[in-house]
Amino acid sequence: MNYQMSHVHDVLIVGGGPSGLNTARLLAREGLDVLLLEQKTHIGENVICTGIIGNDAFEEFKIPTSSVIQEIQNVKIVSPFETSLVYRHPQPFAYMVDRGLFDRNLADLFENNGGQIACRNQVVDIHVHEKFAEVLSDRGTKDPRKYRAQVVLIASGINQKINKRLGLGFARDYLHGAQAEMHVDGIDETTLFFGNSIAPGVFGWAVPIQNDRVKVGLLTKKDPKKYFSNLVKKLAPDMNTETMKNRVQYKAIVQGVQSRTFSDRIMVIGEAAGQVKTTTGGGVYYGMLCGRIAAEIIITKIKVGAWSVQDLAVYEQSWKSAILKELLIGYYARKLCMKLSDTQIEKLFVLAKNNGIFPYISKKGSFDWHSDLILGLAKKTPFFKSFF
């Protein structure tokens, strides 16, 4: 196959999700020659995501709020036995966003700083040479490409074929999500559903959006089709589930800690590196946070051209220093939750209602940082102590 060649860029990023785009933006802002490759036809196309992002992400990464649909301040939670509780935070703590527009805003910020985006590039392999890394892209048999850069960032999301090909770490545990947009009566605030008939060990959701539409979805360890059908029947008993089949989107979500997220001239960021909240499955904030760590290292290393395994080992040390505690505590808390019966879940709801847990959450809780809250709740109540 005859590949068209490009010059040697400073940085090449594989994947146009938030982690890749925001990292690209930070690097381009420093004057680096950055090329981002995306396999879709345009940035923000067909993104499978509930679209709830913490306020802090917008402030910390200076992201435009034009993608925001609404603020989230209250959350209703429903037990397996229909006990309902409403948590009211002192102020809005998250935004419901249009994820396609959110991603396109990041792309605009990157391009406004001189970066380049090349869509319809399906990366099939990466070869590391003495003076550069070479990325092979399949744009169709008539237009294959080779791209070269001093260093490559892999931000390919759930697709970890390149990780495996290069001998890098890859995910070995997943949750499975299912979601569809539909009309549901009576849902006027973000609502979470717990119980083994809906989402064993995890949760389902119904999030109102524009024009009386609701995003309905769930996370589960297995059988997402079965449990999604159960959730739809619960929320809209008269709905014909057969008509829903073509509207449901499914996505696997990485869980657990990955090692070997770097190699000669290569770093892995975002979901491709397992940088995903193990409590909720959200990956936007952690991916951007760890992407910033990668960007800071690249800005330092590019001055001396230091791209060996030994030079880039600091990346994995740094990102794990930032979020490893969160990943591990969330992961094992999730494992424990998967052992709870519906009766035990109901006891937790009674505790939340009568034991002052909501004020504690209001004081100690954070949308993106959960480990201290989990440990604090474990110490606060005898019921939790029996599981930790």
Q: What is the mean pLDDT of residues 167-178?
A: 94
What value does the mean pLDDT of the chain take?
Answer: 91
- Higher-pLDDT residue of 47, 143: 47
Position 154 scores a pLDDT of 98
Q: Which of 156-165, 236-245, 254-263, 321-330 has the lowest mean pLDDT?
A: 236-245
Task: Say if pTM beats, i.e. exceeds, 0.85.
Answer: yes
Q: Where are the alpha helices (DSSP H) in the chain?
A: 18-29, 55-60, 99-112, 161-165, 224-235, 241-244, 284-301, 309-337, 342-354, 357-364, 371-380, 382-385
Q: Which of 227-236, 337-346, 373-382 has the lowest mean pLDDT?
A: 373-382
Alpha-carbon span 82 to 150, nearest angstrom? 57
What would the pLDDT profile of 85-121 be if each residue is shown by its tens digit?
Answer: 999 988 899 999 999 999 999 999 999 999 999 999 9
pLDDT above 60 (res 214) = yes
Nearest Cα neighbor of 203 from 189, 216, 213 is 216
Q: At 46, list the tokens.
A: 């067909």
Q: 71-78 long-range contacts, Cβ below 8 Å, gap at least 24?
A: 71/95, 71/96, 72/96, 72/190, 74/189, 74/190, 75/189, 75/190, 75/191, 75/192, 76/189, 76/190, 76/191, 76/192, 77/191, 77/192, 77/193, 77/194, 77/349, 77/352, 78/191, 78/192, 78/193, 78/194
Position 240 scores a pLDDT of 73
Q: At 380, list the tokens.
A: 């606060």
Supply the CATH classification number for the domain 173-254.
3.30.9.10
Q: How far is CA 21 from CA 24, 106, 269, in A?
A: 5, 6, 11
Alpha-carbon span 216 to 218, nearest angstrom? 7
Nearest Cα neighbor of 320 from 253, 255, 258, 267 is 258
Alpha-carbon span 337 to 202, nearest angstrom? 7
Position 41 scores a pLDDT of 94
Nearest Cα neighbor of 37 from 129, 132, 145, 112 is 145
Alpha-carbon span 203 to 218, nearest angstrom? 6
Nearest Cα neighbor of 32 from 301, 232, 263, 318 is 301
pLDDT band at 381 (very low <50, low <70, confident <90, very high): low
φ/ψ bin of 44: left (φ > 0), alpha (ψ from -120 to 50), beta (otherwise): left
How many of the other CB atoms lie within 10 Å of CB of 90?
Answer: 8
Position 4 scores a pLDDT of 56
E runs forming strands in 120-272: 122-128, 133-138, 145-154, 173-182, 191-193, 204-208, 214-220, 249-255, 262-263, 266-268
pLDDT band at 382 (very low <50, low <70, confident <90, very high): low
Supply the CATH classification number for the domain 8-67+99-171+258-332.
3.50.50.60
Q: In terms of residues, how long is the chain?
A: 388
Alpha-carbon span 361 to 377, nearest angstrom? 9
Strand order of the sheet with strand 191-193?
84-88, 74-78, 191-193, 204-208, 214-220, 173-182, 249-255
Amino acid type, 265: R
Alpha-carbon span 163 to 152, nearest angstrom? 12
Residue environment code for 241-280, b if the CB has 16+ CB neighbours within 10 A, otherwise e: eeebeeebeebebbbbbbeebbbbbbbbbbbbbbbbbbbb
Residue with tokens 């879940």: 345
What would the pLDDT profile of 264-287 be if each residue is shown by its tens digit?
Answer: 999 999 999 999 999 999 999 999
pLDDT band at 388 (very low <50, low <70, confident <90, very high): very low
Three-state SS for 77?
strand
Question: In percent, how much of the chain has pLDDT > 70?
Answer: 95
Alpha-carbon span 22 to 155, nearest angstrom? 11
- Higher-pLDDT residue of 328, 357: 328
Position 166 scores a pLDDT of 94
Q: What is the mean pLDDT of residues 336-359?
A: 85
* Domain ranges across the chain: 8-67+99-171+258-332, 173-254, 346-385
Q: How far is CA 11 from CA 31, 38, 127, 131, 294, in A?
A: 11, 14, 15, 13, 11
Q: How far is CA 93 from CA 53, 56, 59, in A?
A: 9, 8, 12
Q: Which helix (H) or strand (E) holds 10?
A: strand 8-14
Supply φ then ψ for residue 240, to 5 degrees. -80, 105
Q: At 142, list the tokens.
A: 């008539």
- Higher-pLDDT residue of 100, 5: 100
